[in-house]
Structures are given as structure tokens and as C-alpha cells.
Structure 1
Amino acid sequence: VLGPRFASGMHTVFVEQFSLKREDIFDTNAMLAHLVNALSEALFMLLPFFGVMIVVAVLSSVALGGFNVSFEAMQPKLSKLDPIKGMGRLFSLKGLMELLKSLGKFLLVGSATVALLSASSDELIGLSDLDVDIALREGMYLVAWSALILSSTLIVMALIDVPFQLWQHRRDLKMTQQEVRDELKETEGKPEVKGRIRQMQREIAQRRMMQEVPKADVVVTNPTHYAVALRYDPDRMGAPIVVAKGKDLVAANIREVAAAHDVPLVEAPVLARAIYFNTELEQQIPAALFLAVAQLLAYVFQLRAYREQGGDIPTPPQEYQVPAEVQH
């Protein structure tokens, strides 16, 4: 596409810049002006080729890795002048591979160039015997074919180098097992630290739970292994909620706090286990336990009335209506 324009331009440059007057040959300023004009016109003719190369370079980069503009590589860094690091990069495996690739490219392009010169030597020598127009046309023909063949060698190198670069990039992104462990430690923390954090979280949650025990209406016990604290406000709650629960040592702490704050303790092993295993903290008891807990609260309210007003001592329920599907 650009060949005819380039050939015409070269013809103009040769005709105009090599047609000299006798006095210009001995005039330094005139010869310098001819040289500047020749270089300017040649550069102007080469601009389309440079534009094509820039477009191809940008498109190839975008095709491989997307559009990414970064000026970080252009920033001056004194570390790049470190001779020790430079020698390390030079004698590293990556540096050796880059050296081998550069040698391979040089040998491939050099071999193609030598072959072209050998095959076209007679034609190149014969250009001096031809007219200017014919010589330019034949010369452009040789240049075009040479550029095509050399470009083909570059394409061959790209087909080899690009997959290798992608493979090397993926390999460099991979981490060793030690790097994975180090990263996990940095992101998630050491196992012993995480264990300590979980322990502290449990202690904080337990202290917060113990602060709710004095507000409970009743604590149901196993009597030793399980303890569940319930609170019920008919005006605000649709059903009783569990404010604290625990087993073994935690259950003992709940019983101790409840006793210290005059919260009724009721032994109901089946009901205590059913509430413990079927209800989470700050949640309402399941509907299957409504009847059993209603029996319990009725006794608790009777006990509270007895403490405040006296009278007959209420008797706790002998059996709670706990469905079999929620028993444990």
C-alpha cells in the first residue's frame, strides 16, 4: 500500500538532492542544507511506516495483556544501578534464558539477512548499470521482498517467544508451599494466635452471657450437667427466650450466679436438655416446648407470689410435657 508512495518519494529525493550545481559542491553551507533537506524528506516518507509499527505494537500488547498504561517503569530507581544485583540478574536462570533467546533471534535474523544478500547480490550490483527510475523500482522490489522475508522470521520468533513468555509469567506467579504457608500466616494469622483469639472471644461472650443471668425469670437445670436461663416478658415477647445456657463448668457458673441473685433454680432434666439442644442464645424456645415451659413459668410465678405474699408453698410439676422429638 505504501510502496508506490515511498518509491515516488525516493525518486524525488534522489533527483532533487543529487542534482547539484558546481558551486554548491564546494559550499559547506549549501551541502549541509542539501543533507538536511534529504534527511527531512526521507523522515517524512518513513512516518507512515513508523505509524504502522506503533499501531501494531500497541495492538499486540493489548491482545496479549489488555490495555495497561503504567509510567512506573520510567521512574528513576537507584537500585537499578546496583552492580551486585545486576550481576545476579545476569547470571540467573532467567538472565541465561534471555541471553539464549537473544542469540537465537540474532542468528535467525542474521542467517536470513545473509541468505537474502547472497541471493540478491548480482541484482544489487546490477542496479548501478540501470536508469534511475528502473533502478529505484527494482531496488524497491528487493527491499519489499527482503522486508517480507525478515518479517516472516520475526513472526516465527514471536510464535515461539510469546507462548514461552506466557508460560514463564504463569510459572513466576506460582508460589512455593512455604510462600503459601507464609501468606496464610499473614492473612489469617498463626494457628496459636487464632486459637488465642477464639478463646478470648468465647470468654467475652461467656461474660456477657453471665451478665444476663440475674435478669432471668428461672434457671432450669439437669441438675448438674446442663443449665438454661429463661426470661419472659408477656408485653414484649411472643415466647420465652434463652438468655444463658451451658454445660458442666459453665452450667455450674450459671447456677452460682442465679443463686447469688435469687433467680429460681428448677430441676427438670428432660426439659433442660431439650431447651439446651433446640434453642440458641437470645432466641425464643421452639413451639414444641411451649406447653412444658408454660408449666414451668406457672410454677415460677406462683413461687414469686408466695415469696411476696405468703400462703401455701407451690408444688413444682411432677412431669413436664416434652415431646419425644425434642428430647435428648
Structure 2
Amino acid sequence: MAEQNDDSEKTEDPTQKKLDDALKKGDVAKSQEVSTWFAMLGTGLVVAIMAPGAAAALQDALRGYFVHAHEIPVDGPGLTELWKGTGARIAAILALPLLVLLFTALAGNMIQHSLVWSTERMKPKLNKISPAAGFKRLFSSESLVNFAKGLVKIAVVSGLMVAVLWPHRSEIDTMIFREPGVLLEETRALILQLIAAILAVMTVVAGVDYMYQRHKWFEKQKMTQHEVKEEYKQTEGDPLVKGKIRQLRMERSRKRMMAAVPDATVVVTNPTHYAVALRYEQGMQAPICVAKGIDQVALKIREIAKDNKVPVIENPPLARALHATIDIDQEVPEEQYRAVAEVIGFVYRMRERGSWRG
């Protein structure tokens, strides 16, 4: 009941991290029917293209043993060499057909998902040897579906065999009287017809089963809202903690900014909404912004400037322009050079007259 409740609570689509973790564990969407389809295709290719050449090569390789049977040594070393030589020749003849079968078997898996190297499936798990868990799996919905699929496949294959072979029933009855070469060729033709019929039906079955397995796997990967939140905390960090850290960083940055205001050359204001503190010394290429802000921050900058006898100049257009185009510790942009130079020149003239004393 608890498991059913958990499944019913999995309403969120899986995140990319959840899908990647499932792939690392070897948990992928896989249809056995697709693998079977590729295995049948490989068998058909081998029978249609390679079987005649392989059969002829085997015939040539083994003919000598029958023609020269009386010359074959039967002692221990002789039989050992005979088996080695025969095995090597047979392996060389069957290597290419076996490689084709191996490739199609791998293709049946690779077309469904990328290659996965995982030892997760090989790890011992107590629930796999538990009689109760085994009994539960035996009568689970998945087992029943697989059992039904097995019955359907047996029925389909049996029906196809009857449909393909029944028209040739008279030929099959007399096959025993044919020459071996003719018998093999007719058998090969019937096998190819049967494989072609099975592939035609299995194409539909494999397609439907893959979509079903994909949907079932995706539903299994779904997450609860709690799992999504926990994963977000693990990957991105707790939002509350991140917010607190961001707040602390902003406070520290603001304190450093305010500490630089007393060293400013001038503060340009709006006069109530914007404030930008600039510092300029002889030899600098351009004035640098040491502090800026709006509303309450601007008010604090003006207060610190007045307490430290830093000139505060009201120039609303320039204050708004500087606040929008310059960041802390950046030089004044070229388009503002002239206006800023006029303000700083005015401040220097006032200091020379004694109106401001920094």
C-alpha cells in the first residue's frame, strides 16, 4: 500500500539528473522484442547471403576427412592435431556469420539506448533472493504481461509457420528423397520465407512493445515534489541558504562601497533618487565610480559624503546617465567625459577658493 501511495505521488517529470543517474545504473528503456527483431534480421541475412558460401566451404573442408579417412592418424598426438586443424578451419569459416549475428544483437540494444557500462545490475541484493519478493515478482503485473506476450508470440509464430509451410506440405513430404544439395537449397528457401513473415509481424510487435516499455520506464522515473526539491537542494543548494548568502554578500559589498565614499572626489546626485560617487586623482586616465545607488542607498551615500566633506553636486541628467552606464570600480565612459570633467573642474575651483575642504 505504501508503494502504491508513493507511485501515485510521483506526478513530476524526471529531471535530467534523474535520467542520467538511471542510465549510470543500467536502468534504461529496453524492449526485448526489438532485440529479437534484430536477431531475426541477422539470422535472415546470414541464411540469405552467407549460408551458401559457408556451407560450400565446410563441405570442402570436411570432404577430405571422408575421402582419406584411412590415412587419418588415430594416435593421441595425431588426433590432437586433427582437432586443432579442424576447429581452426571451422572457426575461420563461421567467423563472419557469427560477427554479423553479434553486430545485429548489439544493434538491437544500441538503437534503443546508448552503450552502458554498469556493475549495478551485478551487485547482490537481498530482495532478489527473498522468497516473498520472488513470489511477489512472479505474480506481478509485469510478469503477467510478459507471460501474455509469450503466449501471443508462440501463437503468432505457430500461425506463421503453418501459413508459410502448409502450401509446401506436398514438397516437404518428398524432401527426404532429394539430393542433399537440392534438399539444403529448398530448406534454405523455406527458412527465408518463414523469417520474412516473422519479421513482417515482429516489426509491428516490436514497435508497439518499445513504445510501451518506454512509457513504462518513463513513468517509473517520475518523481515526487519532495524528490524534486531535495534534488534541487543537492545540485543548486538550499534556496534559503543561497538567499542568505546572497544577502550577506550584498551587505558586505555595500559596506565596502560605503567605506570608499569618504575618498571620493565628488558625489553626483539627482538630488533625491540617484547618487554616484566618483574618485579622480592626477595621473588617472578617467574618473572611477566608487559607489552608486538609488533611494535609501543614495541617501546614505549623500550623508556619508557630507559627513566627510565630499562635495555633493546636483546634476539629475548626469546622475541618471552615470548610474545606468557605469558599475563599481569602472571608469567613466567616454561619452560622459565632458560632463564629468566640468563637474570635477568645478569642484577643484571651489576647493581652491576654500568653499570645500576635503
Give the TM-score, by structure 1 length: 0.63
Q: Which residue of 2 aligns with 1:323?
A: none
Give the conservation status (yes or no) of the 8 Å contact 2:160–2:198: no
Please state how far the C-alpha of 1:78 moved relative to its aligned partner. 0.9
Instruction: Specify the alignment match of 2:52 in structure 1.
Output: 3
Q: Structure 1: how far apart are the matches of 2:120 and 2:294?
A: 66
Matched residue, 1:140: 184
The 1-side partners of 2:184 and 2:200 are apart by: 24
Q: 1:215 aligns with which of 253, 263, 279?
A: 263
Tell me if 1:249 matches 2:296. Answer: yes
Q: Secondary structure at the match of 2:122?
A: coil
Q: CA RMSD for the aligned pairs?
A: 4.6
Query: Would you say the 8 A contact 2:322–2:332 is kept in 1?
Result: yes
Shift of 1:140: 1.8
- Structure 1 letter corresponding to 2:250: R
**Residue in structure 1 matched with residue 344 of structure 2 by the alignment:** 297
Distance 1:6 1:92 in 2: 46
* Alpha carbons 1:213, 1:244 under 8 Å: kept: yes
Conservation of the 8 A alpha-carbon contact between 2:289 and 2:330: yes
Amino acid aligned to 2:340: V
Of the candidates 314, 327, 340, which is equivalent to residue 268 of structure 1?
314
Structure 2 unaligned spans of 5+:
1-48, 70-82
| Alignment match, 1:53 | 101
Mapped partners of 1:74, 1:184: distance in 2 = 24
CA distance in 2, matches of 1:5, 1:176: 50
Greater alpha carbon shift after TM alignment, 206-215 vs 294-303:
294-303
- SS of aligned partner of 1:219: strand
Task: Give the one of 306, 326, 335 matched to 1:279.
Answer: 326
1:299–1:12 CA distance, 2 compared to 1 (3 A): closer
Alignment pair present for 1:198 and 2:231? no
Task: State how 1:58-207 maps to structure 2 within 5 Å.
Answer: 58=106, 64=111, 70-72=116-118, 76-79=122-125, 81-83=128-130, 95-115=143-163, 123-127=171-175, 130=177, 134-164=178-208, 166-168=210-212, 171=215, 172-173=217-218, 176=222, 178=224, 181-182=228-229, 184=232, 186-189=234-237, 191-207=239-255
How much does 1:229 deviate? Answer: 0.8
Stretches of structure 1 lacking an aligned partner (at least 5 in a row): 21-35, 308-312, 315-328
Give the letter for the 1:200 counterpart: L
Q: In the aligned structure 1, how far is the partner of 2:97 from the partner of 2:337?
A: 88
Work out whether residues 216 and 263 of structure 1, in 8 Å CA contact, stay in contact via their aligned partners in 2: no
**Which amino acid in 1 is paired with 2:348?**
F
Using the TM superposition, give the Cα deviation of residue 288 of structure 1 relative to its aligned residue in structure 2, in angstroms: 5.3
Find 1:227's aligned residue among 275, 294, 299. Answer: 275
Greater RCO, CA 8 A, separation 6+ = 2
> Which range moved further: 176-185 or 156-165?
176-185
Q: 1:92-114: per-residue Cα shift (whole Å, max 9, x none)?
A: 66555444433332222222334
Secondary structure in 2 aligned to 1:78? Answer: coil
Q: Which moved more, 1:115-124 or 1:215-224?
A: 115-124
Give 1:161 deviation, angstroms. Answer: 4.1
Verify the 8 A CA contact 1:245 1:276 in the aligned structure 2: yes
Residue 275 of structure 1, CA deviation:
3.3
* 2:277–2:289 CA contact under 8 A, matched in 1: yes
* Aligned AA (2:310): P
Bigger-Rg structure (1/2): 1
Q: For 1:229-254, what per-residue CA distance to the aligned partner results, in whole angstroms no more than 9, with x for missing partners?
A: 1111241223x222101123212332
